[in-house]
Copies of this chain bind each other. A is one copy, B any other.
Amino acid sequence: MQKNPVQCQFVAALDSIVGKWKPIILYHLLQGKPLRFNELRRLLPDITQRMLTLHLRELEEEEIVKRVIYPQIPPKVEYSITEYGMSLSPVLETLHQWGVAHIERKQLIKQKNEQTKTD
């Protein structure tokens, strides 16, 4: 733990959320339906197997995601959001909303700049 408590709190929150793919993984799992490893891969076409595994392990560690193994061949593993993980929903939600607005704003500015060029 560090000296600065506010810093800590942000860090604690961001650690759980940050990682190139964690927000989208959580976004999909927050839909409620458990997803298999390869289903997640299909939903995140650009993620590598390695990163999906790593991120899922980290989320599991923090009890944000639950991993259920069905002992069968071929293996089947399902990932789902935990009750605790659901508490992240408002965080992701506001973050997502801001992202949408932020992108829109950028495009507006870009358009304006292109207009003034032709003036």
User: Does residue A100 face the partner (Cβ distance < 8 Å to B)?
Assistant: yes
CA of A100 to CA of B55 in the docked complex: distance in angstroms?
A: 22
Number of interface residues of A (CB under 8 A): 39
Instruction: Say yes or no: A102 contacts B27, CB within 8 Å.
Output: no
User: What is the minimal beta-carbon distance from A72 to any residue of chain B, in angstroms?
Assistant: 31
Residues of B within 8 A of A11 (CB): 99
* Contact segment of A32-40, A73-81, A83-91, A111-119: A83-91
**Closest B residue to A7 using CB positions:** B24
A interface with B by C-beta (< 8 Å): 2-4, 6-14, 16-18, 21, 23-24, 27, 44-46, 84, 87-88, 90-92, 94-96, 98-103, 105-106
